[in-house]
């Protein structure tokens, strides 16, 4: 049993080693290797006509609002979204005005979606930091129990099992974070692709 608890300690230490050091000190809770870009730059995804005159107005158009919701949803395949854009603009009385309104909506919706994902990542990072501190504290407590002259095996086993569980949750969260870190980039790419489709239709 002592061997098992020693392994538990080593696994717990390995899990939290190096954790909590942000790549960019400006964003201490940002966990991704990808640089944090708080908002998508309009210039990076749109080379069409200026959108100043349609800013916020897309919400007043029920048809555009519904289409924006469909196109912004990641469950909607990109090809299907692009086809829906083409169909919508081909039926529009003023392609340019409708295209601008549609992209303004997509820009707002996907930026908001992206912010939500990024805020969620930072919330989980704060939880991970707390979890790492708890694992560190419990690891030291377990080592102290093992070092006693007359170690209480029941306490050692209980704390060892607790550490195994805490470490597993910590690792599961870390794996989820790695996956979710890809999402903001995927949103950027989706917005760029949809914007390009709109531009091609209104040129």
Cβ contacts of residue 3 below 8 Å, gap of 6+? none
Cβ contacts of residue 135 below 8 Å, gap of 6+? 12, 15, 16, 163, 166, 167, 170
Residue 53 pLDDT? 87
Q: What is the mean pLDDT of residues 15-29?
A: 71
Q: How confident is the model at residue 55 (pLDDT cuts 50, 70, 90)?
A: confident
Distances (CA, A) of 73 to 77, 162, 186: 9, 40, 12
Q: How confident is the model at residue 149 (pLDDT cuts 50, 70, 90)?
A: confident
Ranges of each domain in the chain: 2-31+47-202
Token code pair at residue 82: 């692009």
**pTM for this one?**
0.82
Token code pair at residue 141: 């407590």
């Amino acid at each position: 049993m002592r061997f098992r608890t020693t392994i538990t300690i080593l696994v717990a230490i390995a899990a939290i080693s190096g954790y909590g050091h942000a790549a960019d000190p400006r964003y201490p809770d940002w966990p991704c290797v990808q640089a944090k870009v708080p908002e998508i730059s309009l210039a990076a995804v749109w080379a069409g006509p200026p959108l100043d005159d349609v800013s916020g107005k897309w919400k007043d158009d029920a048809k555009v609002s519904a289409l924006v919701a469909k196109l912004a949803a990641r469950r909607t395949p990109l090809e299907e979204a692009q086809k829906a854009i083409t169909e919508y603009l081909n039926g529009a009385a003023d392609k340019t005005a409708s295209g601008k309104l549609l992209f303004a909506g997509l820009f707002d919706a996907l930026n908001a979606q992206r912010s939500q994902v990024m805020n969620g990542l930072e919330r989980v990072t704060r939880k991970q930091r707390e979890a790492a501190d708890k694992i560190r504290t419990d690891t030291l407590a377990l080592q102290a129990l093992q070092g006693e002259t007359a170690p209480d095996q029941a306490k050692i086993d209980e704390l060892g099992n607790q550490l195994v569980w805490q470490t597993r949750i910590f690792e599961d969260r870390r794996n989820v974070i790695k996956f979710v870190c890809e999402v903001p980039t995927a949103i950027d790419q989706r917005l760029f692709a949809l914007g390009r489709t709109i531009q091609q239709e209104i040129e």
